[in-house]
Structure 1
């Protein structure tokens, strides 16, 4: 993952004729915090926080609790966060954190202890104007609330702007839960507008009809009412129907704990495993995991447009192959940026001691997404590059322009 992120930066840097010094600046992290957390049960766990670049503003990025967390992964994700915040025009930098642990094996008490010790250790290095962490894989509002409380105890800060992704009663923002999915609907709508296809009756399949995919699916009809939702999958497999599904009907079915593959509609057909990736649809939405389309299955993808709601669902070789074939891939750096946009809006509200209505939050989210997609699309057409390369180029140019104007903020 780290190599892929860095190779793309190098590719775009060459296209922009950047100096070796500028390229190295974009590749290098400002700080890497690697430490060990010992819990009261005697177990010890590696913990990380990488602060990649803060030229545009405080570092921003999630904290994940997962057994596979390692320094290279955190560095890669921090690098991508720098580019994501810049690509969507936010006054933020990029960071990422994590602990190598399976939180499902912890008691609630140990999970709280872990969260508090992580925040306490990092308290000198994070904060509203330095580094603003958020939830990520296996972390949630409860974990963030513990971290905020611990940070307040250590530092005396009461702004609630030290972390985002908090619960609503403790400084969280309206609209946060649906933000990534809603942002994805705006991204798809805008690309279809630029292509002149937003009013066509196109078919859509969603791989990963879980949290983000479910929000995306249920919110999509408002943005693009003519789209026909013909297939969906989760970890159990999936279902397809030439006649289409009502996304809310599938969501209600899933909320009962049942598997999508068992959906009982008469004209639905079960889809085993990842066969949804080969469905004959116009738009394929990837909302589950990374690396689901690779050189192993890329030739069987039939969709004309792919929306990357997950992080890195199309690997580098597959991305190049599909792009060459004319498939339009709306990259994760834009497609799933709704989460970080609303994360920024939460931070902004905390600093201003305000709490906005959901309508205002969603309107601001839409404004950021529309502008980011429009700029990336125009750049991709003008320079004949993919949307991902366009987004990276615009992000890099924005960071370097800010660096030249305010060089003291890059350290």
Structure 2
């Protein structure tokens, strides 16, 4: 079974023309070789992949099975390529189709009509990128390294030569390369985010804060309805809200102490609002401290700049210099007699036994030594 599975694989790979739908042909060939063995396309493909990875057959046996499956192929070309993930090149197939084909030893084949479509997508993407401001460009996603994606990139690379040779400056070169990346994403079907969505995502309100703010808004609305009912408002909408507030309890709106119950309910809601507000402030402070600590480790200059308060420029003309001097002279030049309390005597008696410190004189040599040590 293993040998026939490999024969069917090599034959399907040798007779296909596009290189992307060989599994159905391999399944048909295997059914001819093993009519008594029921197997699905997926199981057969998995079996062939397991045989190749587990090295059940050596290179010589793989070459023999390949030659038996495709006797008309070039034996010298077949001997050196026995990997299960490789795509075989067959000159007789290309000559029969008479189509220019881009072929890579590790990639699927791309026929000429696909190249023309790629060229039109590339041209459209480059023109669109040139007319789009830099801040409005979409963020490029990560592309998986599959055979088809590598083949698309290899096919688009020669097309960029004409655009790059005609480029006049670095900005235009950047637009060409970015447009090529956008074209690759469109060809392989990768999703591109909308322009400007990345900037709005970072400034969005966190989900936990939005939930708490919604609770606070509903509690405040309920407090307003309960206060209105306590003041004598008996409209149907108010009555319905009050009944919903006391639902599940043994409190009736017709009982004599309903005013006290309303007051207790309002106080309870106010306490919850205060607790929710403290939770928001606590979470916000914790998040700010965390971000500041992380920023201090990565970029201290940016942290200190964010901590600076904006300068407030006063409107109008500033005070006169003579007025400023007169104001401060009235505070500091006039002698003031302070009334000292009895505690000053207690402090003076306690400090009488303390030995005064020797006076310190800072010399230029001390300053130079301190600077050199740093």
Relative to the length of structure 2, the TM-score reads 0.19
Name the one with the larger strand percent.
1
Q: Which has the larger radius of gyration?
A: 2
> 1 or 2 for the larger relative contact order (CA 8 Å, sep ≥6)?
1
Structure with greater helix percent: 2
